[in-house]
A = this chain, B = another copy of it.
Amino acid sequence: MDFLNKYASFFEKELQQNSFKLFPSNLYDPLRYFMELGGKRVRPLLTLMASELFSVPKENAIHAAVAIEFFHNFSLIHDDIMDEAPLRRGKQTVHEKWNTNGAILSGDVLLVNAYQQLALSNSKYLKEVLEIFNQIAVEVCEGQQLDMDFETMQIDEVSMDNYIEMIRLKTSVLLGGALKIGAILAGANKENAQLIYDFGENLGLAFQIQDDILDLFGDSEKFGKQIGGDIISNKKTFLVLKAVELGKEKEVESILKLIDKDKKVTTAKSKFQEWGVLEEVNNSKQYYYKKAMNALYEIKVNELLKQDLITLSNQLIDREF
C-alpha cells in the first residue's frame, strides 16, 4: 500500500514517540513487543484520512488514531487468550510469550492507554468522541461474545443474519468508528459523520468477508497464516454459512467431520467452488463494498478528496494478505 506511506510513516513515527513506560516491565514489555509486531494499521489510517477528507490536517486526529490502534491491539491481545491462539502476525502471542495473567493485565492497561490518548483530543469534541469510542468498544466486546457463543452452536443454529451481526460488531463498527471520530475532530456535520460511519461499517463487512475468503482461498505465503485454519477448527465463517444457505448443510457437516486436515481443506475448497459458494460470497462482498462506496459518494465534499479512501478500500477488499 505504497500510496499510504504519507499516512503510515507519519503514524508509525507518532507511535514511536508514544513509547510505553519501562516499569513495571512485566506490564509494559508485552505492549512494546505486541505493538512492534506491526500490522496493517488500517484503523488509525482511516481516522487520519477521515480528517483530511474534511480538509483538516491529519495531525489534528493523531491522538485519536493512536487511541484506535491501542484499542484494536488491546482487543487482539485479549481475543488471542480467549481463542488460545499461539501466533499473531507470525510471532508468539502475548499469553504464549509471557502468560495469561500478563496478557490480561497488559491488555487492560493498553485499553486505558487508549483512553489517555483519546483525552488528548480537542476538548471541544471530547465528549462526542468519547461517546463514539465507548459505543464501538462495547460493541466490539459484544461481537467477541457472539463469536464465542457461536463456537458451541450447531451450524444450523447460526443464521447468516446472526453471523453478519457478529462481524458487524466485532470488526466493522471499529472501522466505522475510526472514520467517524476522525470526521468529528475535523468538524464534520452530523450527516457527513453518519455517512462516513456507514461507509466504514460496510467496508468492514466486505473486509471481513475477504478475510474469510483468504483464510481458505488465500496464498499461504502472502497471507502469513495457515490456509484453512477456519475450516480446520470448524468455524462458522461466511463461506460455511453460505454453503448451508445454499442447501448444502449435510455436505458441509460431512466436510467438517473429516479428520485429515489437508483433505478437509482441499475438499472444502473444491466443493465451495463447485457449489458456487465462493462466487456467492464474492457477490456478498461486492454488495457491502458497493454500499460503502454509495455512502462515501453521498458525503458532501470535493470528490477529489475521496480518492485516498477509495484507493485504500479497493486494496482492502482485493488484498491477498
Chain A residues at the B interface, C-beta cutoff of 8 Å: 24, 26-27, 78, 81-82, 100-101, 104-105, 107-109, 111-113, 115-116, 119, 123, 126-127, 130-131, 133-134, 137-138, 141-142, 144-146, 148-149
Contacts and interface: CB of A to CB of B under 8 A. Distances in A.
Contacts of A108: 78, 107-108, 111, 141
7 contacts: A24-B145, A78-B104, A78-B105, A78-B108, A105-B148, A119-B131, A126-B127
Given A115-B115, A130-B126, A142 B26 contact: no
**Max count, chain B CB within 10 A of own CB: residue among A81, A108, A116, A142:** A108
Contacts of A141: 27, 105, 108-109, 112
A111 to B, nearest CB: 6
B78 A144 contact: no
A40 to B, nearest CB: 23
Given A81-B104, A105-B82, A148 B112 contact: no
A305 to B, nearest CB: 30
A112 B130 contact: no
Contact of A26 (B100, B134, B149): B149
B149 A137 contact: no
A111 B26 CA distance: 22
A116 B134 contact: yes
A145 B105 contact: yes
Given A26-B145, A116-B134, 12 more contacts: A24-B146, A26-B148, A78-B108, A81-B101, A100-B100, A101-B148, A104-B104, A105-B148, A112-B134, A113-B138, A116-B131, A119-B130
